[in-house]
Amino acid sequence: MRCLSVPSSLELFISAYFLNNQPHVARFLFEQMPQRNTTSYNTLISGYVKLGCLSDAQTIFDTMPESNVVSWTSLLRGYIQAGAINEAEALFRRMPEKNVISCTVMLGGLIQEGRIDDARRLFDTMPERDVVTRTIMVSGYCQMCRTAEAREIFDDMPRRNVIAWTAMISGYAHNLQLDQARKLFEVMPEKNEVTWTAMLTGYTQAGRIEEANDLFKRMKMKPVIACNAMIIGFGQCGMVTEARDVFNQMLEKDDGTWSSMVKIYEQNSSPLEALDLFRSMQMANCRPSVPSIVSVLIVCANLAILGHGRQVHAVMVRSHFDSDVFVVSALITVYVKCGELAMARMIFDMSDGKDVGLWNSMITGYAQHGLGEEALKIFNDMCSAGVIPDEITYIGALSACSYSGMVERGKAIFKSLNSNSIVRPTAEHYACMVDMLGRAGQIEKALEIIRKMPVEADAVVWGALLGACRIHKKVEIAEIAAKKLLQLEAWNSGPYILLSNIYAAMGRWEDVAKLRKVLSLRSVSKSPGCSWIEVDKTVHMFTGGDIMVHPEHEIIACMLERLDGLLKEMGYTPDLSYVLHDVDEEQKMLNLRYHSERQAVAFGLLKVREGMPIRVMKNLRICGDCHTAINLIAKAMAREIILRDANRFHHFKDGNCSCREYW
């Protein structure tokens, strides 16, 4: 009687369990095998390698009675995957027997390390090369932007399959040689979905959205990857509706589809749609991955909506994402931007394996809240911990000094930035310095810095100078800065408004009028001011004057009325000179009396539970008059009010603001 070949069917099961991410079951089956041969051992080794369990693979390899070239190659692959290239090379040298495949695996490892020339040396000495070997070389050269050498290998190939063609096409596309890619695309014998997708993403990444869309429309099968690329491409061009159309038409979505769409809404100033879609994503039972959770967290941070942020945090903890540095630093930013510094700090302290980004989130967090000392303490801790600061670290540390008026310490940090060799000072660092000196009243020194800086001063730098001129009423330098800004960003109304405020404060009304004329002639865009507040997981958005839009506008109006009375009792009179000459869009609504931040505060007073702080966000800088008024309101109503504007936080409590009027 003949028996079925039991071992081989068990091996099938073993690899199936590995694929299913159940190595213990696989191992159990292996232990149960009545007889094991080299192939059974190899199944186990490759299974462990695929799951990244290198030490298990190594143990099996060490204990197996007889290894062959396949066992060695699997293990080699394991070391390469783990990034242990030195160990891999040592292993490769020790191999008793090598064939095309093992050499090719080694080749891939070298390319992964960016060592294309070493790979080439190995390639030249190989006794035999096949399609796979050559294809790997083609994509290796392309990764290093050396498409000419890639093309030589490609042209030399005795035989080419779809994969080889696609590798060459996608290599050209990644290097923005789209027309070269297209030529090959047109002449190649048979294309598959991957080929089409490679060509398409080449176009989307180059911003050539029409050509991408042409291809996309011609594709019979539209794989998720191609659709996602199309969504991202449309999103980058600001074509939100088109992106959404693709999204809607997809029968099958992955988490990249959802999170890309969420991000597009967020970046194209549709935050509410972003959140709404995130909610639908959860309802569609789409399990978020690390990148998608990060992009949603960024939406929460940018909108500073604590309730949503907490919800995502909960999702994260449940999915065990709370150990990923990207996720954790985004989460810290959420709590920072929601004004929950203590929570941010706790998450920071609890995280281990802190990388630069994580430290940076905490440093910039303290800086944004005007807590310079704490920010610098974290900065020092970071250096003591042996973590190398990057550009962002320095921006955080310098702006911490700037917001807290610590000029001397700022200068010292700037000096150390200039003397270290790792980070080169950029325009942004100079902007911090200009901001710092400017706020401290050293406007001439700030201008001096701009004149001497080695990189070209951009709008951020000049904007910092102009802002300082506004605080200290330095009209001559303000004019210089404004003129520069008008050259750099003609579309931006900000400089006009600032300059006009300075003129107004000095009583130079003719200049105010002149500016106003220029502004209307140029019809520059004014970003509409809006404020929002989150109550019971709903975000309520207010725009200046548009009070009737809100469903509860009647009680809000009553509250505003009441607050007006209170303010009057406290001896407050609106700073009309300030208001009258602000050309901000919101100011036009003056006769409607209320700025968006005040509406949001009024709504908060009505809806937020007694004793809880009111958190209001504004997309622009808070208006000076509102700053005074809200400070008084916080005192009169005995409420803590936290207002985040475009620049920083203002914690109003007991008649004081955390910015100490230094903003």
Partner DNA sequence: AGTAACACCC
Which C-beta is closer to DNA: that of 226 or that of 560?
226
270 binds DNA (CB under 7 A): no
* Percentages (nearest 5) of helix, strand, coil residues in the chain: 70, 5, 30
Q: What is the largest CA-CA distance in the chain?
A: 110
Closest to 485 in 3D by CA, of 502, 465, 501, 503: 465
Tokens matching residue 223: 């794989």
How many residues at the interface with DNA, by CB under 7 A?
A: 70
Question: Applying CB under 7 A, which of residues 211, 255, 381, 479 lies at the interface with DNA?
Answer: 255
Q: Least distance from C-beta 435 to DNA, angstroms?
A: 21
Binding part of the chain for DNA, among 326-334, 451-459, 503-511, 545-553 by CB under 7 A, reads 326-334
Return the bridge partners of 532, or none. 541, 617
Min CB(375)–DNA separation in Å = 15
Nearest 5°: CA angle at 437, between 434 and 442? 120
Of the candidate residues 290, 475, 519, 606, the single one contacting DNA (CB under 7 A):
290
User: Which residue's CB is nearer to DNA, number 113 or number 479?
Assistant: 113
* Apex 265 CA angle, 263 and 268, nearest 5: 105
**Does position 206 bind DNA by CB under 7 A?**
no
For tokens 């004081």, name the residue: 656
**616 backbone dihedrals φ, ψ, rounded to 5°:** -120, 140
Q: How far is CA 198 from the centre of its chain?
A: 25
Q: Per residue, what are the HEC states of 150-194?
A: HHHHHHHCCCCCHHHHHHHHHHHHHCCCHHHHHHHHHHCCCCCHH
Does residue 58 interact with DNA by CB under 7 A? no
Give, in degrees to the nearest 5, the angle at Cα 557 between 551 and 560: 135
Residue number, 211 or 489, with CB nearest to DNA? 211
Contact status: 229 vs DNA (CB under 7 A): yes
DSSP character at residue 455? S
- Rounded CA separation 426/245 (Å): 40
- For the bound state, the minimum distance from the C-beta of residue 206 to DNA, rounded and expressed in Å, comes to 11
Name every residue whose Cβ is closer than 8 Å to that of residue 582 and which is 6 or more positions away in sequence.
497, 500, 501, 504, 623
Selected from 120, 263, 598, 651, the binder of DNA by CB under 7 A is 263
Among 58, 329, 368, 599, indicate the residue that binds DNA (CB under 7 A).
329
Measured from the CB of residue 531, what is the shortest distance to DNA in angstroms?
Answer: 24
Among 18, 41, 42, 376, interactor with DNA by CB under 7 A: 42
Is residue 441 involved in binding DNA (CB under 7 A)? no
Nearest to 396 by CA among 312, 440, 332: 332
- The answer to whether the Cα torsion of 371, 375, 381, 385 is positive or negative is positive
Nearer to DNA, 76 or 466 (CB): 76
Using CB under 7 A as the binding rule, the residues of this chain from 447 to 466 that contact DNA are none
Q: Minimal distance in Å, beta carbon 522 to DNA?
A: 32
In degrees and rounded to multiples of 5, residue 538 shows phi and psi of -115, 135
Name the β-bridge partners of 617.
532, 644
Q: Which of 25, 84, 188, 194 binds DNA (CB under 7 A)?
A: 194
- Give me the least distance between CB of 457 and DNA, in Å please: 25
Subset of 101-160 contacting DNA (CB under 7 A): 101-102, 104-105, 108, 130-133, 135-136, 139
Contacting range for DNA; rule: CB under 7 A; set: 353-361, 486-494, 514-522, 593-601 = 353-361
Q: Which of 116, 164, 240, 375 binds DNA (CB under 7 A)?
A: 164
CB of 358 to DNA, least distance (A): 5
Partnered with residue 113 across adjacent β-strands are: none
CB 400 within 8 A of CB 359: no
Half-sphere exposure of 320 (CA within 13 A, CB side): 0
In the complex, what is the shortest distance from the CB of residue 158 to DNA, in angstroms, rounded to a whole number? 14
**Structure token digits, residue 132:** 């796979």
Q: Closer to DNA at the Cβ: 289 or 442?
A: 289
- Please give the residue ranges that form the binding site for DNA (CB under 7 A): 42-43, 46, 69-70, 73-74, 77, 99-102, 104-105, 108, 130-133, 135-136, 139, 161-164, 166-167, 170, 174, 192-195, 197-198, 201, 204-205, 223-226, 228-229, 232, 254-256, 259-260, 263, 289-292, 294-295, 298, 325-326, 329-330, 333, 355-358, 360-361
